Amino acid sequence: MRNTATLNQNFSIRFATSDDAALVVEYMKKLGEYQKMADEITATEPNIRQLLEDKRGEAAFGIHNGEVCGFVYFCQKSSAFTGRAGLYIDGFLVDPEKRQLGLGKIMMGFMCRLALDRGCQMLEWGCLDWNAPTIDFYRKLGAYSIDEMTIFRFAPEHLVRNAALFDPAKA
């Protein structure tokens, strides 16, 4: 897939470069505001720049009439449970004033095409339980939820604390 996909004269999608780190952070902050979790967004421009440079994360921007109006941040994933490779969307947002133009559908279609082009068999993401309009949007596209699972995460301090449980010198 090329670095920029022009769908019509009014809308295109382009992949982010590491020089777009500040714009990724800006969109993550917008997403945090929308999700009522602004204080949870701790990403910084240097963090995101490093993720993009190391290819541990990728982003793409939706551009409508020459202005960025949406973004998606994603990474490669795989599942030992299903034996499938996929992409995981960690951040997805279309600016509120552009939401009824069908741009979110186009961006999700872009992500599906990218997944298929990369030999993936799934595209996955999370959505907050209270976010009924977004859940409805995803369901209309054919997405289903995995309701019997709770996602757990270790924060950096817990990684350090629990890593201390494994001492290779004692193994």
The per-residue pLDDT for range 75-115, each reduced to its tens digit, is 999 999 999 999 999 999 999 999 999 999 999 999 999 99
Which SS3 state, helix, strand or coil, does residue 125 take? Answer: strand
DSSP-derived letter for residue 100 is G
The per-residue pLDDT for range 41-77, each reduced to its tens digit, is 999 999 999 999 999 999 999 999 999 999 999 999 9
Token representation of residue 157: 């301090």
Q: What is the CATH number of domain 4-170?
A: 3.40.630.30
Is the pLDDT at 117 greater than 60, yes or no?
Answer: yes
Q: Where are the domains of the chain?
A: 4-170
Task: Write the CB contacts of 92 (distance below 8 Å, at least 6 apart in sequence).
Answer: 31, 70, 71, 72, 73, 104, 107, 108, 125
Q: 144 and 122 in contact (C-beta within 8 Å)?
A: no
Rounded to two decimals, what is the model's pTM? 0.90
